[in-house]
Structure 1
Amino acid sequence: MEDARRHYLDQIRYDGVALSPALAAAFAAVPREVFVPDGFHRRDGRLVLPADPEFLPTVYSNDVLVTKMNGDVPISSSSQPSLMAVMIEALDVRPGHRVLEIGAGTGYNAALMATLGAEVTTVDVQEDVADRARAALARAGIDGVRVEHADGYTGGVDGRYDRIIVTVGVAGVSPHWLDRLEPGGLIVAPVEHAGTHPVLVVRPDPVTASVVCPAGFMTAAGPLASRHQHSHPPPAPALGGLAETAPARWGTALEAYAYRDLWYAAGAWHNRATHASIPGREQSFLALLDDSGAAGAVVLPDGAILASGGSAERYTAVATALVDRWWSLGRPPIRAWRVGLALDGPILAPRTWALTKLR
């Protein structure tokens, strides 16, 4: 076990994630394997059991552990540790803070925050998930966490909190969460944007947000997944019939984070931006879908554009204009965006986007 855990913090820090000494100590202290006692599914769908040789090395890797499936669809997991770290650091958890977590998952994230000295209430809409998280926290000897089977939209039992963290992809912020916040409080939540779930830090009065990082999450159910006037199209599972309509424009393809920067900008400027799969390729790509949702244009990391359908020429022109705009503004990073939210149906949804200069 010590061999498996020795390089855990190095893996979390690998992509430049900064860990405070307190959070590093929490990751080192909380035994992640206790929270997946029945095993987990890897990204490729393979089931890994505790008796398997790869169990502990995978548990102490920087990877998501899927713990519940609905057919082929993951519906509960232990998130990627580096993403947990970024979100907890953005939450600015202090000893004595009362924290509400929407989405208990395995309980591991709540355990980390409790180890930082927070009093955590974590809720999950799936009763079996809440039960397993409660049992795992008890096995790990973690105090200071209350697990509730409750609807994340309402936030569960009454109470007021200094911080709220959301660990499931949502379309917007529940007004109930804002009602629960103490003065000076904030919310960290992955809010849908162009088919992904970038993490936002949301502050009230007025309800505005800054973007922390790109991310992808399992999508919530119910009101938290409500469509609104600025909703982007659902991701396209596969776009066929694509042909190159604009050549590569960069000798070196954008690295992953820069490509996500372009992706976010495209979603801020155009409401048909989402992501799409291309047959024969593993990753998903930034896409602009036509009204059918089955055709449009795809922007590749090297700047080439592929398109299909009767509006291929028009969508190629739109995609080219979006890429040109991002490039002409100096390739603004995702963290440069500020988002205004407003009530739209049952949620406060993204309404406006503005670029700011980073310090």
Structure 2
Amino acid sequence: MEDARRHYLDLIRQDGVRLSPPLARAFAAVPREVFVPDGFHRRDGSRVLPADPEFLRSVYSNDVLVTKLNGRQPISSSSQPSLMAIMLEALDVRPGQRVLEIGAGTGYNAALLATLGAEVTTVDVQEDVADRARAALARAEITGVRVEAADGYTGGPAGRYDRIIVTVGVAGISPFWIERLLPGGRVIAPVEHAGMHPVLAADPSGAVSVICPAGFMSAAGPLGARHDGSHPPPPAGPLTGLDPAAPARWGAPLEALAYRDLWFAAGAWHRRVTYASVPGREQSLLAVLSGGDRYAAVVLPDGEVLASSDHCAAVALALSDRWWSLGRPPMSAWRATLAQAGPLLVPRAWKLGL
């Protein structure tokens, strides 16, 4: 087990993920397997049970563990550990601070927070998920965590917090969270942007910065409410009828993180940006939709543009060339301010803060 957890830390640190000594100790100390006592689903939908020989190896992988499905749709999980680490480092929690977690999941993230010395309240709108998280925390002998079945939009039980962390994809920041922040506090949340859920940091003043790219299961209810600034959802199926509209322009294809940087920038500049699949290509692609989603263009990682209309092609080409001409800014360079949009506060007027 010690070897498995040591390897686990190495997996989390891959791709440059930073683990502070306290967080490394927390990941090494909290037994992840206790939080998936009934097993879990892999990304491909296959199930792994505790009796399976590969159970512990799979638990201590750098991968999401899906614990609840609605049909074939995941609705609860233990997130990818490297993403959890990035979000926890961004949260910058100190011993004794009060933390509100929106989305209890398995309880594993709350256990890490408690091991870091935080006083944690974690809420989940699904009562059975909250019950299982509470039981898992008890089995792991983790103290300092209060689990409540409650609406994450309002934040559950009354109280104010030094930190708020959100572990489900949301369409914006709940105004109740900002009201509950103590001076100097921060919210870390994955907020919808062009079909993905980049992790954002917001402070009590409404200033917003970007932490990292991510994809999360989307929240229902007010936390998933569409607003006048929402990007279109991705098309239900692969885009067809696309013809070459511009050749490859960048030599080597962009690496995955740089492609996400381009994707974020395009979404900051244009509200009809989302993602789509294209026959014969495995990865999701940056897409521009128009005409009630009847027309589209996609930008490939090498800069080639495929399109079904001249207008979409021109927009996709202009967005990608604008990002390139600005020196390929990373998404972490973007800044915005929260503004009211329906029941949520959403980032407005994205600007580069270089």
TM-score bin (small chain): over 0.9
User: Who is 1:248 aligned against?
Assistant: 248
Contact 1:239–1:294, Cα closer than 8 Å, also in 2 = no
For residues 38-53 of structure 1, the aligned pairs below 5 Å read: 38-53=38-53
Q: For 2:140 and 2:282, locate their aligned partners in 1 and report how far apart those are by CA, in whole Å.
A: 37
The question of 1:344 aligning with 2:320 is answered: no
User: Who is 2:352 aligned against?
Assistant: 355
User: Who is 1:147 aligned against?
Assistant: 147
The question of 1:221 aligning with 2:225 is answered: no
Superposition deviation, residue 241 in structure 1: 1.9
Superposition deviation, residue 115 in structure 1: 0.1
User: Who is 2:311 aligned against?
Assistant: 314
The question of 1:57 aligning with 2:54 is answered: no
User: Who is 1:212 aligned against?
Assistant: 211
For residues 112-131 of structure 1, the aligned pairs below 5 Å read: 112-131=112-131
Q: For 1:37 and 1:228, locate their aligned partners in 2 and report how far apart those are by CA, in whole Å.
A: 39
Contact 1:274–1:287, Cα closer than 8 Å, also in 2 = yes
Please say which of residues 18-27 and 281-290 is displaced more in the overlay.
Answer: 281-290
Contact 1:97–1:118, Cα closer than 8 Å, also in 2 = yes
User: Who is 2:181 aligned against?
Assistant: 181
SS of the residue 1:154 aligns to: coil
Contact 1:244–1:307, Cα closer than 8 Å, also in 2 = yes
SS of the residue 1:12 aligns to: helix
Q: How many residues matched?
A: 353
SS of the residue 2:147 aligns to: strand
Runs of 4+ in 1 over 4 A off after TM superposition: none
Contact 1:239–1:295, Cα closer than 8 Å, also in 2 = no
Q: Any stretches of 5+ residues in structure 1 without a counterpart?
A: none
Q: For 2:146 and 2:351, locate their aligned partners in 1 and report how far apart those are by CA, in whole Å.
A: 38
Q: Any stretches of 5+ residues in structure 2 without a counterpart?
A: none
Superposition deviation, residue 294 in structure 1: 4.6
User: Who is 1:22 aligned against?
Assistant: 22
Q: For 1:274 and 1:101, locate their aligned partners in 2 and report how far apart those are by CA, in whole Å.
A: 28
Contact 2:295–2:312, Cα closer than 8 Å, also in 1 = no
Please say which of residues 287-296 and 17-26 is displaced more in the overlay.
Answer: 287-296
The question of 1:103 aligning with 2:100 is answered: no
1:225 partner amino acid = G
Please say which of residues 196-205 and 275-284 is displaced more in the overlay.
Answer: 275-284
Superposition deviation, residue 178 in structure 1: 1.1
Tell me the percent identity: 75
Superposition deviation, residue 24 in structure 1: 0.3
Q: For 1:146 and 1:326, locate their aligned partners in 2 and report how far apart those are by CA, in whole Å.
A: 45
Superposition deviation, residue 179 in structure 1: 1.3
SS of the residue 1:351 aligns to: strand
1:350 partner amino acid = P
SS of the residue 1:100 aligns to: strand
TM-score by length of 2: 0.98
Q: For 1:346 and 1:22, locate their aligned partners in 2 and report how far apart those are by CA, in whole Å.
A: 37
TM-score by length of 1: 0.97
Superposition deviation, residue 279 in structure 1: 2.4
Contact 1:341–1:352, Cα closer than 8 Å, also in 2 = no
Q: For 1:342 and 1:81, locate their aligned partners in 2 and report how far apart those are by CA, in whole Å.
A: 31
